[in-house]
Amino acid sequence: MKRKMLAILGAALLMGLLALPAKADVASRGVPGALNYVEGQAAIGADSLNPQSVGSALLQPNQVLTTTPGGKAEILLTPGAFLRVGGDSAVKMISPNLTNTQVEVQRGEAQVEVDQIFRQNNLQVLDGGARIVLQKRGVYDFNADQRVVRVLDGQAWLQDGDAGIKIKGGHEVALNDPTLKSRKFDKDSFEASDDLYRWSSLRSAYLAQANVDEARTYVVNGWYGPGWWGAGWYWDPWFSAYTFIPAGGFLFSPFGWGFYSPLWVYRAPGFYYGHFYHAFGAGYPAWGYARPHYGPWRGIGPGFHGGPPVARGNGGGFHGGGEFHGGGGGHAGGWR
């Protein structure tokens, strides 16, 4: 009975997606260099970018993406890695290859969120003549104006000429310091004050929610359905952006947001079948989908605590987080 209901839900969701207007110039599979979000004024070379450029514009080798002081942009790197460019900044694509991905921060600030990385990946950021190899899941900040490389979480190897140094989470390296030493910095203060970091965290939350929306469309009768090809970038029409879907199980981004594979999205605590109890204690049968975890875990046992409000579509409203504690209870704010 439960399997039949899952099939009905999957079919209904698939029909809803098919009814959405298609974007003809969007490839079904994202590639490194694809523009995934733009805010304010930005350009690739002489070509201005706008929300309609998302999914179609590509940052090709030797091209430079620039932003005005109020602009920001998000670019796909290897599956599970996002490049985010701050205001009044310039980033050049050196190589978009999956096994050799290189970008150069020429001006301003850029950050890379790495949710998943494999030993076959060679993900590098060039900054002021230094080459920084990103080695682990984490968040990395590059400020070409300050000439500082920061590793908020994760681990990187910095090579500058003949000198090399490992940078661990919570450490930074000043590129204009001839000693090239890794020093601790006030991570909490940076996260609270850096505009690009706060924006990156919010973008990560949106894309985690898009992952939930998109991953569940590839489940039919408890198995992977049509259109699923494994780990990679998948276009979610509700969010008008690519989201990352891992091949199996689930993972958490460095910001704490969950990314689920298609089958695991239904095993998450947010999926329910049984009785829903409202504020007055009266229960009624319900089945469907309550959002899996997309906010930092708060140690509330088998349930989840939702994250901040998340935009859906192009300004089509916001949805609250909410809680689901298991055992037939929950808060309706976080349920679809």
Q: What is the pLDDT of residue 2?
A: 43
What are 13's two structure tokens? 């969701």
For residue 106, what are the CA distances in angstroms to 144, 146, 175, 265? Answer: 6, 12, 14, 39
**Between these two residues, 252 and 19, which has the higher pLDDT value?**
252
Q: Are 25 and 228 in contact (CB under 8 A)?
A: no
Nearest in space to 262 (alpha carbons), one of 298, 229, 302: 229
Q: What is the pLDDT of residue 267?
A: 67
- Virtual torsion, Cα 300, 306, 308, 310, nearest 10 deg: 170
Residue-wise pLDDT tens digits, 107-147? 999 999 999 999 999 999 999 889 999 999 999 999 999 99
Tell me the C-alpha distance between 330 and 233, whole Å.
32
3-state SS class at 85: strand
Residue-wise pLDDT tens digits, 36-93? 999 999 999 999 999 999 999 999 999 999 999 999 999 999 999 999 999 999 999 9
Tell me whether strands 100-107 and 123-127 are parallel, antiparallel or unpaired: parallel
Residue-wise pLDDT tens digits, 237-296? 999 999 999 988 889 999 999 999 998 887 654 433 333 333 333 333 332 333 343 344
The domains of the chain are located at 34-186, 197-334
User: Taking the mean position of all CA atoms in its chain, how far away is CA 35?
Assistant: 13
Q: What is the pLDDT of residue 28?
A: 60
Domain 34-186 is found in CATH 3.20.20.70:
no
pTM, rounded to two decimals: 0.75
- Virtual torsion, Cα 177, 194, 323, 234, nearest 10 deg: -80
pLDDT band at 6 (very low <50, low <70, confident <90, very high): very low
Q: What is the pLDDT of residue 250?
A: 87
Tell me the C-alpha distance between 137 and 216, whole Å.
25
Q: Are 114 and 154 in contact (CB under 8 A)?
A: yes
Q: Are 180 and 163 in contact (CB under 8 A)?
A: yes
Amino acid at position 277, single letter: Y
